[in-house]
Amino acid sequence: MPTITLISGQAIGHGFLLALCHDFRIQNSRGSSLCIQEGRPATAFPSKWMIDFVNAKLLAPNIARSFIAGKSLRARDAVRSGLVDKTGSFKDALRFVEKERLLDAGTKYGYCTEKELRNRNAITLLDSRHGREIKSHRL
């Protein structure tokens, strides 16, 4: 079954990573933002596995500004960069589900395989390279 998240506030750090775990992201254009980290505090810099996970889910140039400068992306910029699929409210998210026929998508033959292939890089990353670091990472 496809998953969708509505980002209606600040998705920073682990909230940002959680949003990336969904198949579709819709961000409210009023008062919401996405950022891997806020500001540049030395103790809160993203760990290697976090950066690799985001790069596995998205193209690195799309999020370079958020990584390096610690800037938040508003809804319009997040759509342009590919971080979110659409801007809108809860009603817009429901219309998106209906338009894309997401309630029926999970019943289609091969959907699970397609989803696994789409997320192959992130799955491989989480299964192997940073397994120990991820398990010991304190949330």
The confidence score (pLDDT) of residue 107 equals 81
The confidence score (pLDDT) of residue 53 equals 76
Closest CA to 97 of 24, 8, 7, 18: 24
The confidence score (pLDDT) of residue 12 equals 84
Q: Is 35:72 a contact under the CB 8 Å cutoff?
A: yes
How distant, in Å, are the alpha carbons of 2, 130, 133 from that of 85? Answer: 14, 28, 30
111-118 and 120-127 are packed helices; what angle lies between their axes, rounded to 10 degrees? 70
The CATH number of domain 4-132, selected from 1.10.3720.10, 3.40.190.10, 3.90.226.10, 3.40.630.30: 3.90.226.10
The confidence score (pLDDT) of residue 43 equals 46
Determine the straight-line distance between the first and last CA of the chain, rounded to whole angstroms.
Answer: 27
The confidence score (pLDDT) of residue 96 equals 93
| Residue ranges covered by each domain of the chain | 4-132
- Mapping DSSP to helix (H, G, I), strand (E, B) and coil, where does residue 35 land? strand
- Written as six digits, the tokens of 133 are 């670091």
The confidence score (pLDDT) of residue 4 equals 92
What are the mean pLDDT values of the chain's consecutive 10-residue runs (139 residues total)?
Answer: 90 86 91 76 61 70 57 84 88 92 83 81 71 53
The confidence score (pLDDT) of residue 93 equals 93
